[in-house]
Chains A and B, each alone.
Chain A
Amino acid sequence: MKETAFLQSEPGARVESTSDLSELSISERSIRMPVLFFFGSGVFWLVIASIFYLLSSAQIHVPTAWWTFPGIPWLSFGRSHPVFLNCYVYGWATCSGIGTGIWLLSRFSAPPLRSPWFLIIAGVLWNIGMTTGVLSILAGSTTGRELLEFPPETAFILFLGLAMVSLWAVTIILNRKPGTTYVSQWYLLGAFLWFAWLYATANFALGFAPVPGAAQPAINWWYVGGLVDLWLTPIALATAYYLIPKLVGRPIYSYRLALLGFWGLALFGGWTGMTHLIGGPLPAWMITASIVAKVLMLIPVLAVGANFHLTMKGHFGGLRDNHGLRFIVTGTVIYTAYAFAGSIISTRSIAQFTQFTFVTVIQNQLGLFGFYSMILFGAVYYIVPRLLKREWLFHKLIEAHFWLLVVGLGLLLLDLTIGGLIQGFGLEDPQVPMIAVNDLLEPFLAIQNFTALLLVAANLGFAMAFTLILLISTPARQRRVAIEQSNEASENTEAEVSVA
């Protein structure tokens, strides 16, 4: 068999046996509440983000229509847009990411704490910070810096919650079983340390001891680049590196490709942010360094993509039957496409036409809605039934979630790419007045409203499925099936390549 041959040819690689992980049932109980709490928070903020997404996309299309609430300051585009983005990134993406991270880390080693309260308090702090932050933006009290809009006091509460989670993560990695580290562990260790460092630095240098002048946008976009490439990306990749091998029942194809992917990300990830400021008032070397990093980022991206593809090879049939796998594999495919698009639009000659347009917007949204969220939706679909020992109630609802997301995102990609290119060529032609550029954009903004409806419907379907599984205990017969399935899954624990 191919797997066996691979394992023999790779002396450093060892397959984890079932018995090692089965003794972790105690740890699973102690992390059940924190994981569900973070997932629940994520789903709540996803619903809030969806409402504001719909509102803000309608507002740039028809700002005078009564149903976009013209004249109400706290519901105007300048506030609904940052509320949507902050709720999506710090509410949904970060909470679901922390929940998945906790669950993954507890699979590899016994938690340092028997009590779930430490992590739950961290989650409560995070939600307090989110709530006060969102209310601050709505009230017009904002720092005016993208993805750092929350006032410093709020950022401090969020940092406390984050620091607690990161401390827990580092402790649990140090308490791992001797001699073993997993690919997912590398990414998770990096993610939790990098995010805490990024968040503390950005809020200190911009909020508590603000530096005036052009250093502000430099630090702001260093932070946003890191947030995407060194927090969201490694969380999603850690999830995929654990769940893909587990769900197809074979180890990761290549340890060396995994190494290349991880260290490439660690090396280039902190440098990508200045590509948002090409032509901006910064020393040329800072911007050039970012463009180079963004292009070189294709090396780890291709390594990761190839590794997933070769692991999946011959097992793509599993996508039909397994919800979690379908979401996760789709997410990894979008990752490659999204990263390619990101590198292309970061080169100077192309950025000239795309930089200030919807092309940049859709590239970011492809990463957020497509790559990251797809993988995290898959993780929630996989993890929650195992924590609750219940089955998802309506499989049609999950199917609908998947297809609404795929169709909505596909249409949005087409729509905003074409619209954004027209906008970009218009802006770069001095003969075309600004008003004419916006006239050309109008039909594309109309279609964006329609695709926003699809995406919001997808998110609400997911929220409904999540609420139902929390509230309704599955009948006994189905529960037995569920337990059988979860046993079957744990037979396949020879999932991930572990490294001695």
Chain B
Amino acid sequence: MNKINGLFFGVFFLFGISWLGLVAYPYLTFAGLRQSKDDATGALAPQGNPGTATQGARVYAANGCFYCHSQYIRGEDEGNDIARKWGTRRTVPRDYMFDQQVFLGTSRLGADLSNVGVRQTDPQWFYRILYNPHTMSHQVSMPAYRWLFETREIQGQPSADAVKLEGVIAPPSGYEVVPTADGKALVQYLLSLKKNYPLPEAPEATE
């Protein structure tokens, strides 16, 4: 019976160490992270997320954006993310402290999105690429997310957030393409992706 007891003990004990190190440790310590306070201005970083962005994160998950887009910047010694201008510093645990869902991702079939809200500030840019990514290049693997939009008859004035489309994909005259509530939330989420505030543990890269 000793053999089998030793087997049970070993199986539990050896696995338990990894459970303590990689589950219990981050579960307990990351919950205790605090915002960083800038000594000069008193500004807190990072800021929390607006509610629409949290809603948009659900749309991001439902459509599997994270299977092709990552959301983290490696340090200068670990890769060329900063040279590619995807960010100005590496990302650290504190960057994600307010995120209900964290999409680090493991593939870069698409661009890294950690700072996409810094690079692009116009919602129209996001609407156009989500409606028809193939305006950029025919080889883009990204699908068109047409179900995040609806084509409807213009009632009086055209909507402010109607997507500006040209050529064959333009709606017939008298009609407009507008984002649905999900589409708007997703774009709000993407616009909120900015990790450009200073954090003491992640100094800006020096070139």
Chain B residue contacts of A213, Cβ below 8 A: 30-31, 33, 93, 96-99, 102
Query: Cβ of B65 and Cβ of A78 under 8 Å apart?
Result: yes
Q: In the complex, what residues of A have CB within 8 A of residue B137's CB?
A: 435, 438-439
Q: How many Å lie between the Cα of A181 and that of B108 in the bound state?
A: 47
Docked CA distance A197–B142 (Å): 37
A59 contacts the other chain (Cβ, under 8 Å)? yes
Residues B67 and A78 in contact, CB atoms below 8 Å apart: yes
Are B78 and A219 in contact, with the CB atoms below 8 A? no
Q: How far is the CA of A278 from the CA of B84 in the complex (A)?
A: 18
CA distance A23 to B14 in the complex (A): 36
Determine the distance from Cα of A197 to Cα of B23 in the docked complex, in whole angstroms.
Answer: 12
The reply to whether the CB of B205 lies closer than 8 angstroms to some CB of chain A is: no
Known: A194-B15, A213-B99, A216-B101. A434 touches B111 (CB 8 A): yes
In the bound complex, do residue A214 and residue B30 qualify as a contact, i.e. CB atoms below 8 Å apart?
A: yes
Interface residues of B in 31-76 (CB under 8 A from A): 31, 33, 57-58, 60-68, 70, 72, 74-75
Q: B4–A174 contact, CB under 8 A?
A: yes
Q: Assuming A217-B104, A219-B26, A289-B21, is B95 touching A281 (CB within 8 A)? A: yes
Q: How far is the CA of A283 from the CA of B57 in the complex (A)?
A: 25
User: Of A24-32, A68-76, A122-130, A449-457, which binds chain B?
Assistant: A68-76
Query: Does A318 count as interface, using CB distance less than 8 angstroms?
Result: no
- Known: A59-B143, A214-B93, A281-B91. Is A144-B103 also a contact (CB below 8 A)? yes
Question: Would you give the 0/1 interface string for B81-125, flagging 1 where the beta carbon is closer than 8 Å to chain A?
Answer: 101110000111101111111111011111100000000000000
Contact with B along A161-200 (1 / 0, CB 8 A): 0000000000001101000010000100110011001000
**Is A281's CB under 8 angstroms from B96's CB?**
yes
- Alpha-carbon distance between A360 and B65 when the two chains are bound, in angstroms: 18
Are the CB atoms of B22 and A71 closer together than 8 Å? no
A407 at the interface (CB under 8 A from B): no
Query: How far is B143's CA from A16's CA once the two chains are assembled, in angstroms?
Result: 59
Q: A77-B64, A211-B27, A274-B22 are in contact. Are A217 and B102 (CB under 8 A)?
A: yes
Question: Using a CB–CB distance below 8 Å, which chain A residues touch chain B?
Answer: 59-61, 63-64, 70-73, 76-79, 81-82, 140-146, 173-174, 176, 181, 186, 189-190, 193-194, 197, 201, 205, 210-219, 222, 226, 230, 263, 266-267, 269-271, 273-274, 276-283, 286, 289, 348, 352, 355-357, 360-361, 427-430, 434-435, 438-439, 441-442, 445, 499
- A sample of 9 cross-chain residue pairs with beta-carbon separation below 8 angstroms, ordered by A number, consists of A71-B144, A144-B61, A189-B11, A214-B96, A222-B22, A269-B15, A279-B75, A360-B107, A427-B84
